[in-house]
């Protein structure tokens, strides 16, 4: 049975959001992907810029609201696996 996964990657420069349908033993299909530059790491050392935090939260909220309209994906917050940055490389989704 296929599983719907939503990945949220909060980077120092951008938020990456990815929605995929994974079918064990078969592969995966990228349903939606986006990258929004928020510059969380752009402040003074040890500080997060307030505007960047607001932009990051707004991006994540919007993405989750939109992908949850039709289904309830399992949401994972972590660095995206290398194949998520290069959707043609399927090996990490097939594990």
CA distances from 9 to 17, 30, 36, 44 (A): 6, 16, 11, 22
pLDDT in tens, 47-87: 889 999 999 999 999 999 999 998 899 998 766 555 555 54
More confident residue, 82 or 23: 23
Contact 41, 32 (CB under 8 A): no
* Dihedral of alpha carbons 24, 90, 29, 59, sign: positive
pTM of the model as a whole: 0.76
Please identify which residue in the block is written with the tokens 């909220």: 61
Minimal CA–CA distance to 16: which of 41, 39, 35?
A: 35
CATH of the domain spanning 3-94, picked from 3.90.1170.50, 1.10.1040.10, 3.30.420.40, 3.40.50.300: 3.30.420.40
């Amino acid at each position: 049975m296929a599983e719907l996964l939503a990945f949220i990657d909060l980077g120092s420069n951008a938020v990456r959001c990815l929605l995929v349908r994974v079918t064990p033993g078969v592969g995966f299909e990228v349903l939606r992907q986006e990258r929004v530059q928020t510059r969380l790491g752009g402040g003074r050392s040890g500080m997060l810029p307030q505007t960047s935090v607001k932009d990051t939260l707004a991006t994540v909220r919007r993405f989750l609201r939109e992908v949850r309209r039709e289904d309830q994906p399992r949401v994972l917050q972590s660095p995206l696996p290398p194949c998520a940055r290069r959707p043609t490389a399927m090996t990490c989704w097939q594990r």
